[in-house]
Every structure is written in C-alpha cells, then in structure tokens.
Amino acid sequence: MKTNDFNTYKSRYRSAIRQVLAESEKGRLDEAAFPAYSHRNPVINWLFWQRLRKVIEHIQRPTMYDNILDFGCGSGVMLPHLSQISSKVIAMDVDLLPIELVQAYIPLASNVEVKDASKIGIADLPANSFDLIIALDVLEHVKDLPRTLNELLSLLKPDGQLIVSGPTENILYQIGRKIAGPEYSGAYHERGIAEIKNELIKLARIGPIATLYWPIPLFEVFTAKKL
C-alpha cells in the first residue's frame, strides 16, 4: 500500500473512531484501542498506526488469499484492507460492540463474516483452512495462552502464517502509557509480547516483521508458521 493510500485509509478510519467515541460511554471502548487509534498526540497516533502499516506491507502478495481470520478484530480496523486481498474474511471477537458501532460509518464488505467469540470457539472453525490469521494486540488479553495458540495454529493451512503484535510492557512502555493518559492503564493485559513469543517458539517457527522502535522497543510484530 502506497503512503498516500495508507494515509487515506488511516484518516477515514480515525475519523469514524473519533465519531464513535464522542457518542459512547467513556471508557467503554478503551480495550478495543479506540483512544490509541484516534489519539490527538501525533507521536502516539503514528506509533499505533505504524504497527498496522508494517503488517499490511508484510502480507501483500500478487495473488488473493482464500481465507483470512482476524482474531480479536476489535473495531475492525484491518477489515477494509483484508477484504480487498482475500476471497473471504472472518472477524472474531468476544466483544462485538466496537465493530458494530464503527459499521455505522464504515460498512463491512460483503465477503466479511463476523463471529461472536463468546459463543463460537476457535475450535469450532474449520482446521487447516486459513492462509492467514491476524492477531494484533489481542493475545496479551487471553486467559489460556497455550490453548489459544495451539487452536489458532491448528486453523492454518500447511503454508499459512499467524501474524502477532503486542506491547513490550517494559518500563519505557509503562512510562509512555502514563503519559498517554488514563485510558491506557493496561489493567486488562495478562502479559507482554515476550511471554507470547516464548510460548509460540515451542509450537511454531518465528520470523521477525518489525520492532517499534529501537532503541526504545514499545511493540513487536512477528510471524509464526507451523513446525
């Protein structure tokens, strides 16, 4: 995606998120990262959107994907792009209010199917069927990490890949969270990206995508493929 195209994509979604925030109960959408994607501080806002840009750049390829899963889709910020590069996209989350609110401003494409993860488990999806699974800033929230990772990997085709991003939770990240504002308490985080990566190393081949940014790493993005 070219810089101009990405900036247009970003501006459209950021505008929608800001409108939804203005109409919603304070704090209700914090866990879905609404404050981060719409933050008025240009550095904080840029950092959060750069994670998405790195993922978008990594998953580009000449041919369409057959099936993509957006696990923990939140507001659905990746869905407009995923719907353009895949024949079918499944968006899954335990809290569907964020994506439902955003749909009033950015309707979902016809090839996107939303599933309620509080009613349908990962294991209910067809095994070995997804070319790509996106799990961006979500695995730090799950209770049973080993089980979740095993189930996600079981959904991948033999040559499929799982894309993971998450916060480092280091001291500099903690300081940045306080500077960013009360919406960034992180009280709903179970772990940081290092623990997620260490668990995945037992189950998959790990490959780097980006660390944002040296020498102050706040987020890491990487890929995992079946052993």
The CATH number covering residue 138 comes to: 3.40.50.150
pLDDT in tens, 187-213: 445 688 999 999 999 999 999 999 988
Domain count, the chain: 1
Report, in angstroms and rounded to the nearest whole number, the Rg of the chain calculated over CA atoms.
Answer: 16
What average pLDDT score do residues 216-221 get?
87
> Above 60 in pLDDT, residue 113?
yes
Is the per-residue pLDDT at 82 higher than 60?
yes
pLDDT, residue 2, reads 87
Burial of 123 (0-12, 13-18, 19+ CB in 10 A): exposed
Tell me which of 40 and 90 has the higher pLDDT. Answer: 90
Model confidence, pTM: 0.89
Give residue 182's pLDDT band: very low, low, confident or very high (50, 70, 90). Answer: low
Over residues 155-160, mean pLDDT: 97
Domain range enclosing 47: 3-226
Query: Considering the chain, what is the average pLDDT of its residues?
Result: 88
Segment 107-112 mean pLDDT: 97
DSSP-derived 3-state class of residue 224: strand
Q: Are 123 and 151 in contact (CB under 8 A)?
A: yes
Extract the runs of DSSP E, i.e. beta strands, from the chain. Answer: 65-71, 86-93, 112-116, 130-136, 156-167, 204-212, 219-226
Res 44: pLDDT = 79
The answer to whether 203 touches 150, Cβ cutoff 8 Å, is yes
Indicate whether 34 pLDDT > 90: no
Residue 24: its pLDDT value, please?
86
pLDDT mean over 83-109: 95
For the segment 176-193, the average pLDDT, to the nearest whole number, is: 57
3-state secondary structure (DSSP) of residue 109? coil
| Helix locations, 34-137, DSSP H | 34-37, 42-59, 79-85, 97-102
d(CA 125, CA 155): 7
What pLDDT is attached to residue 185?
46
